[in-house]
Amino acid sequence: MRSARFLINCLPCFLIALLISGCGYKAIFKTALDPVPVRTGNVITIRKVPPTNPTASTLVINWFGTSSYELRMGNISVLTDPFVTYKYPHHVISVNPFINYMRSNPLLVRDKYGQINPPPTAMFIGHSHYDHMMDTVAALKLPNWENIPVYGSTTTKNILAGYPKNAPTVPSSLCQTSSGTSTGNKWSENWCPSDTSGSWENVHANLLYYQTFEAEHAYHFAGKTLWDGAQTTELQSPPRITNDFQSGETYIHFFKFETLTGASNETFTVGLVGAATGVDRVLYTQLQTFARTNQVDVLILCVPGWDHIKDKKYPGNLLEILKPRVIVLTHYDNFFNEDRDEDPTRLVPTANFNEFLNKLQKDINAITGYTQFESILIPGVGTKLYLNKQPSGTINVSKLFRKN
């Protein structure tokens, strides 16, 4: 009787774990990312070719998985949503506070992010779910990373406050509006509030700017967003369960990379949509204003959750306004598999990847006057994209490389 009751109580957890994991998925569905023809532009899948040394005006996009990117021009770079310590589903759904499933693997963090040289100029958190910021502090502990500012919401700051720091050191020239808000030895001293005022904010030396817009996170399932809330007070110890990583505000970040020459044909604007999102009236107006004076060269789009947006308007709701030249798909990798390196192109089962790609193409073709569109890039985890702007203003994919 007790065994039967145990099975009944655990059945929902088992079903959730099966839903979000890759268990059995590979045996049922093929996950190869085959080219799909489009009527406008090209779908480019990643092929293995030797990398080249980028020039000072080459935009390098390095995908570490989920929503974690290194975006670099020359010595200036951004690291987004630090997360490479993947977790199995039974770790994600655990509510046992006595076992710390939500800790980083410092060796894995060093292996993945240690290749970034020089270290990032800044980190940006799109929202504070574990799969978007769990490895932030482990990354800050890498050699010469301790003074990197971390831009995010107040929830981001309150989560970072749970991680002790060896010495209370607020980085110099932290950001435009904050000089460190926490007292004591806490990694929240590196936090900067993401500015949502609707103007370009200088991050470093007039070579890197950002703009942030608040958006909404797509539902996970059944009209519900998991861990959808805010950490309103500072954590007193490191997060131990997934529920410690409440989402906080969800942001769309735009980054503008300049070169020392200031030439327009050497300037890149990159947008990152780390969670599928609806577009309400406020966001619509804000993005319209942004698009009037800014050409988006690259827009990185989250795949999972797109079909949970009201009326299924994502991603057309963003493309119609922003009209990016290059679209990069992201967050479709199986981040519930700790052994993801065995198959970097394995899809998370809930991604509905092919359906999304078909809808994406239809959305593009339905937009009047979308002459800027050039290509859709479908990377694999560990891929580096090298993009150059020619004097004509067009973007060419010069080299595509996936790490062995």
Residue 100: exposure state from Cβ atoms within 10 A (0-12, 13-18, ≥19): middle
What pLDDT sits at residue 35?
39
Q: Render the burial of 35-74: b for 16+ CB within 10 Å, e for the rest.
A: eeebeebebbbbeeeeeeebeebbbbbbbbbbbbbbbbbb
d(CA 77, CA 119): 8
Which CATH number fits the domain that encloses residue 272? Answer: 3.60.15.10
pLDDT per residue of the chain (404 residues) written in tens, 0 to 9 = 444 443 334 444 444 443 443 332 222 223 334 433 343 445 555 444 445 566 778 888 999 999 999 999 999 999 999 999 988 888 888 888 888 888 999 999 999 999 999 999 999 999 999 999 999 999 999 999 998 999 999 999 999 999 998 866 666 666 744 545 555 688 998 999 999 999 999 999 899 999 999 998 776 665 666 778 888 999 999 999 888 999 899 999 999 999 888 777 788 999 999 988 889 999 999 999 999 999 999 999 998 887 777 778 899 999 999 999 999 999 988 888 766 555 555 677 667 788 888 889 889 999 999 988 888 888 878 888 888 776 555 566 655 544 43
**Pair of tokens at residue 323:** 């009209």
What pLDDT sits at residue 260?
81
Range of the domain at 363: 2-402
d(CA 174, CA 396): 35
What pLDDT sits at residue 107?
95
Domains: count for the chain: 1
What pLDDT sits at residue 264?
74
What pLDDT sits at residue 16?
45
Give how far Cα 374 sits from Cα of 47, 57, 251, 298, 302, Å. 18, 19, 26, 10, 19
What pLDDT sits at residue 14?
40
**Pair of tokens at residue 184:** 């004591």
Residue with tokens 């604007």: 269
Residue 110 three-state SS? helix
